[in-house]
Chain A
């Protein structure tokens, strides 16, 4: 018998919107509590039961790439950074951001752009390295796990590379965007190898996603 369809959902900034979205698509709201694996009876709608896995954002592609979850929801920023071997099925209509370079407002942006060597704080080292390599600028990368803005604010680094949604956090901390590296979207990803039953269930799910208001 085919295992339940496992959907990996990210905790953090995307969680509430993602959950609301799947509640609308699946036609029922999951009773989460504090559980990390939640069963949802979707047999009638999808032909197979569903399990929602509640994971850290960056772990979503890991579970999907290894085939433990058949699909997942994750930002393209995470995918571009980790380059997992997964299918990118669909952009979701929420959670778009931009990956930007920012510096203190009192920094000379032109001078920074001409510098041969920069110190960069970021949670996205591969993305930052590729961007500055393309510009011909050498960089020392300082990997931070949170409050990346402080790297530039306190002078640890010259600039930061981080995800920007509205830009308010940057402004509130005296930072300004210098360049946009990429627009990011929230995507539904899928494993490359899965059963035909799971594949058909995902097709049904995505058909309802596309018609959802």
Chain B
């Protein structure tokens, strides 16, 4: 047998590709069973439409170029706004909730290789229509189901709300000065206890204690009760109560998983407006999937509907599931193409048509 007949380098590459494909196929099938059909997301989109929806900073992370007519286009980099733009007409035409799933390669400009890669696979799902606790919990439980179905068990769920810090700063800050509140919100976002202590010096002792607790990394759920108590009829109480209900529901649904309040949830994509959740690896803390509510995105595309969704970090998940899921066992019939290539290839084709795996051997690559 010629030495290269088994093609080991290609087999190793194929293992990875096959594993990814197997994971994505299984995930899309699972999503379909949750009534999330797969949608085809366009590779290119007009830059202006997305920039208006997600803002300059986040649009800056997309690869941009111009077409022959001079129109600025972006390469698919964040699927949620691209799906929203493409399928907003469904939300305009229908009254029932709309569910969509997708799995596509994306490209994004990143400085941080640890968190996300320049090129990766985006796999996720979106639910448009309901603005309810049930919809938020549906996104969480479908995402959890997808991860556990892939064989991941060692997970934690972190749940937060992107407006919690801003509202706490605005409602509990004294003096009620917009700039002061913005600084306090930034300090809370950074979990900077020194700055929170300084900026909340004139708040009531109860409010100051709550703000300092909110600045910790792992506050207990009682902080939500305290925040609701401090702003009983205001928006902070609404957010705190909704978050408490979400945590309670998620604890029941994610039986046995650590479900923690994430006081630092942030709008890191430019369109999140409420709930944020992340599934992290319980051993390393790496984020494996994340999602949230983005009620203000669809109106940018003339569809008045709230929305929630999630995306899976496919590469991070694939690093944690066994490659054997899709492994090639290497068994094949090998035909030597050096002696009589026509006969060898004809025989190989006949075997392949008979559903057997074949390998073609060549003595060298023809490269000096």
Chain A residues proximal to chain B, CB less than 8 Å: 1-3, 65-68, 70, 85, 87-91, 190-200, 202-203, 206, 210
Contacts and interface: CB of A to CB of B under 8 A. Distances in A.
Given A1-B283, A87-B190, A196-B158, 8 more contacts: A2-B282, A67-B115, A87-B217, A88-B192, A90-B192, A193-B286, A195-B156, A203-B218
Contact of B285 (A88, A91, A191): A191
A67 B115 CA distance: 9
A210 B193 CA distance: 10
B112 A206 contact: no
B192 A89 contact: yes
Contacts of A196: 156, 158, 218, 258, 260
Interface in B37-95: none
Contacts of B193: 89-90, 206, 210
A202 B158 CA distance: 16
A70 B114 CA distance: 13
The main secondary structure of chain B at its interface with chain A is: loop
27 contacts: A3-B284, A65-B112, A65-B114, A67-B286, A85-B115, A88-B191, A88-B192, A88-B195, A89-B192, A89-B217, A90-B194, A190-B217, A191-B285, A193-B278, A193-B286, A194-B280, A195-B280, A195-B282, A195-B283, A195-B284, A196-B158, A196-B218, A196-B258, A200-B217, A200-B218, A206-B193, A210-B193
Interface string B100-142: 0000000000001111000000000000000000000000000
A87 B287 CA distance: 16
Given A196-B218, A196-B260, A199-B260, A85 B190 contact: no
B304 interface: no
Contacts of B158: 196
A190 B284 contact: no
B192 A192 contact: no
A2 B278 CA distance: 17
B245 to A, nearest CB: 20
Contacts of B191: 87-89, 190
A65 to B, nearest CB: 6
A47 to B, nearest CB: 11
B174 to A, nearest CB: 22
Nearest to A205: B217
The main secondary structure of chain A at its interface with chain B is: mixed
Contacts of B306: none
A3 B286 CA distance: 12
Contacts of A191: 285
Contacts of B309: none
Contacts of B264: 87, 192
Interface residues of B, number: 27
A202 B113 CA distance: 25
Contacts of A66: 112-115
A192 B290 CA distance: 13
In this complex, which of B193, B264, B281, B285 has the most chain A Cβ atoms within 10 angstroms of its Cβ?
B285
B212 to A, nearest CB: 10
B240 to A, nearest CB: 20
B217 A202 contact: yes
Interface string B215-237: 01110000000000000000000
Contacts of A190: 191, 217
Nearest to A63: B114
In this complex, which of B158, B191, B282 has the most chain A Cβ atoms within 10 angstroms of its Cβ?
B191
A85 B112 contact: yes
A83 B335 CA distance: 58
Nearest to A1: B283
Contacts of A85: 112, 115
Given A196-B156, A199-B217, A91 B194 contact: yes
Nearest to A70: B285
Contacts of A88: 190-192, 195
A42 B1 CA distance: 59
A71 B115 CA distance: 16
B284 A67 contact: yes
Nearest to A194: B285
Q: Which 4 A-B pairs rank lowest in CB-CB distance, beginning with the nearest?
A: A66-B114, A194-B285, A199-B218, A199-B217
Contacts of B194: 90-91
A210 B278 CA distance: 30
Contacts of A67: 114-115, 284-286
B74 to A, nearest CB: 22
Interface in B309-353: none
